[in-house]
Structure 1
Amino acid sequence: MHHAVELRAPGLTARADEVVAWIWDSDLTTFLEELVADYRGWDGERRRQNHDRDLTVSAVFRSGGHVGLTWSLRPWPQAAGGWGASVTTWLEAGEQMASLAADVRDFLAGVRP
């Protein structure tokens, strides 16, 4: 299963049309739900990549109960002259993270074979 992935931030738009879906037993939904379960925080960075390593999501917890999710897109990571882009979103560790996890779960459930 392939997805188009687009990152946007002020002054930046990056898109890759052939990003391979997550491996389902360690998918993005599970990663986000683990972050939701740890809403009181954790030390360091947590990271999840898709199978081809062209999409990475990393998470850090900061004081005040906020989670920084950095979405990094690097299509064809082994190719010479490739490109990469990252965007960080900040969410409240409770309800906003739970809402994101539910939205991603619903989206991926609709595309699973």
Structure 2
Amino acid sequence: MTSSDVGTGDEAGVTIRCQDNPSVGMRFGDRFSFDEDSVHYGVELQAPGLSARVNEVVAWIWDRDLVPFLEELAADYRGWDGERHWQTNDRDLAVSAIFRSGGHVGLTWTLRPWTKAAGGWSASVTTWLEAGEQMASLATDVRRFLAGEPG
């Protein structure tokens, strides 16, 4: 399940909850931009016993964006074999997707800040969504969020 948080500025965001366990989820929020070439945003992961956040993930306009990746998953609602992957240019946010019988997509969201620093960390959660409508809704919500459009 996804939801666009209604609001402006720091309040706007997209929350994704696992349909199998609503206490597992992730959130895009705190969007800002310094220029026309990039969008910066925070990402939070939540699960029982886990809370992780990266304050500044960067989406570059020239980079392969998350939205087309999510749209491709939604378009392939009948399924696929294997695992599909996407990551930011800085590799601090990565998503892997698998399809399971019954028409559900497992999205594993991984935060990995400071990839080159000693003492770095990573955290992951997996959210399960319906392959068709919920994936299409997620792609639309993320597109609006990254573009700074109201939900």
Task: Flag whether TM exceeds 0.5 (same fold).
Answer: yes
The corresponding residue for 2:86 is 48
TM value normalised by structure 2: 0.70
CA RMSD of aligned residues (A): 1.4
Give unmatched runs, 5+ long, in structure 1.
Answer: none
Contact 1:67 1:93 in 2 (8 A): yes
Q: Deviations over 1:14-38 (max 9, x none)?
A: 0111222255551010000000110
Amino acid at match of 2:104: H
Is 1:97–2:135 an aligned residue pair? yes
Question: 2:44–2:51: 8 Å Cα contact kept in structure 1?
Answer: yes
Of 85-94 and 12-21, deviating more is: 12-21
Secondary structure of the structure 1 residue equivalent to 2:89: coil
**Structure 1 segments of 4+ aligned residues over 2 angstroms from their partners:** 22-25
What aligned pairs does 1:25-40 form with structure 2 within 5 A after superposition? 25-40=63-78
The TM-score with structure 1 as length reference comes to: 0.92
Aligned to 2:42: 4
Distance 1:88 1:79, change over 3 A: same
The aligned length equals 111
